[in-house]
């Protein structure tokens, strides 16, 4: 899609000679420095990333007509894997990503509207955005209420917010700490967060139903026993996401989730929580 003039949304950014928009300064985030590198190495062939995209676009697609051609802002969008899937729905998408490697890869993948920064550092204008997505982002934010209130400020009245986060504090493990997570959520804690930040909940369900037992066995149990995991390597991450027999079996189990979300069905169990909410007036 054609590049958007992002100065209509944010007052503190300029477009560089490489085509990426940037503010004068950005801010530190709670995310591993090599996180986007690790994701980029596996996401196109990973059952996890591909299923998440299918579920996210199933939910976002339910609101496509309401957006009426207004752009969708993917905040903390990494390498642009989700943003490209949203654009494939015919929705103009801008990506806001503080990591320079992620922003550069997103632009190289064909996203024409990429910002290397954050909502705060770019000074997005009040009520300028119709829809915002934050996918596996909010769990990295220490002040999640304050962050969502800032997000609300940038949304127009009745603007839409889409979120995914990891589910169940009981599943906390070394993996969460290594990823820079501040917390995992329950449906109740996410509902409270939305209300406290000034949003009306439209949809709240779960996905990745097969994963909690595996997470409990392979991550939580060793964590509770004080067994430190081996440091992840590029090879081990690739192996965990590599397609194969187990991958195909999990895909078969998850196929019904996409159809359920597309119908608006709120699934009661799964390793991740999925949200659609609306800015209250």
Would you give per-residue pLDDT tens digits along the chain (281 residues)?
667 889 889 888 999 999 999 998 776 665 665 667 777 778 888 888 999 999 999 999 999 999 999 999 999 999 999 999 999 999 999 999 999 999 999 999 999 999 999 988 999 999 999 999 999 999 999 999 999 999 999 999 999 999 999 999 999 999 999 889 999 999 999 999 999 999 999 999 999 998 999 899 989 999 999 988 776 666 666 666 665 555 667 777 788 999 999 999 999 999 999 999 999 97
Predicted TM-score of the model (pTM): 0.93
Q: Is the dihedral of CA 164, 181, 270, 189 positive or negative?
A: negative
- Structural domain boundaries, residue 230: 6-279
pLDDT (0 to 100) of residue 11: 84
Whether residue 273 lies inside any domain: the answer is yes
Check residue 36 and give its pLDDT.
Answer: 72
Q: What tokens does 209 get? A: 């139903």
Q: Is residue 157 situated within a structural domain?
A: yes
- Burial class of residue 93, CB neighbours in 10 A (0-12, 13-18, 19+): buried
Cβ(41)–Cβ(238) under 8 Å? yes
- Residue at 1 is within a domain: no
CA pair distance 114, 137, nearest whole angstrom? 17
Residue 121 in tokens: 């550092």
Rounded to whole angstroms, the Cα distance separating 135 from 59 reads 13
**Taking the CA of residue 47 as centre, how many other CA atoms within 13 Å lie in the half-sphere pointing to its CB?**
20
Specify the 3-state DSSP secondary structure of 72: strand
User: Is 60 within a domain?
Assistant: yes
pLDDT computed for residue 240 by the predictor: 65
> Is position 137 within any domain?
yes
**Cα 7 from chain centre:** 24
Whether residue 261 lies inside any domain: the answer is yes
Neighbours of 175 (CB within 10 A): 17
Number of folded domains that form the chain: 1
What's the order of all strands across the beta sheet hosting 155-166? 14-15, 21-22, 114-115, 93-96, 72-75, 129-135, 155-166, 272-279, 199-207
Inside any domain, residue 212: yes
Q: Confirm if 128 and 154 have CB atoms less than 8 A apart.
A: yes
Quick check: is 64 in a domain?
A: yes
């Amino acid at each position: 899609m054609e590049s958007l003039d992002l100065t209509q949304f944010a007052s503190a950014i300029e477009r560089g000679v490489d085509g990426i928009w940037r503010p004068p300064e950005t801010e530190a985030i709670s995310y591993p420095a090599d996180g986007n590198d690790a994701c980029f190495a596996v996401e196109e062939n990973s059952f996890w990333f591909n299923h998440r995209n299918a579920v996210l676009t199933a939910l976002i697609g339910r609101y496509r007509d309401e957006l009426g051609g207004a752009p969708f802002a993917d905040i903390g969008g990494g390498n642009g894997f989700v943003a490209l899937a949203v654009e494939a729905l015919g929705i103009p998408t801008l990506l806001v990503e503080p990591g320079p490697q992620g922003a550069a890869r997103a632009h190289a993948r064909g996203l024409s509207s990429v910002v290397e920064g954050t909502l705060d550092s770019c000074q997005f204008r009040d009520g300028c955005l119709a829809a915002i997505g934050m996918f596996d982002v909010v769990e990295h934010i220490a002040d999640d209420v304050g962050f969502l209130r800032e997000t609300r400020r940038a949304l127009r009245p009745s603007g839409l917010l889409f979120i995914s986060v990891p589910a169940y504090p009981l599943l906390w493990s070394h993996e969460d700490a290594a990823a820079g997570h501040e917390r995992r959520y329950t449906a109740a804690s996410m509902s409270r967060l939305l209300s406290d930040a000034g949003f009306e909940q439209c949809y709240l369900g779960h996905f990745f139903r097969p994963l909690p037992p595996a997470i409990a066995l392979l991550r939580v149990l060793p964590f509770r026993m004080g067994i430190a995991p081996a440091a992840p390597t590029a090879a081990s991450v690739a192996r965990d996401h590599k397609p194969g027999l187990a991958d195909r079996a999990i895909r078969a189990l998850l196929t019904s989730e996409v159809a359920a979300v597309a119908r608006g069905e709120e699934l009661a169990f799964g390793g991740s929580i999925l949200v659609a909410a609306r800015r209250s007036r």
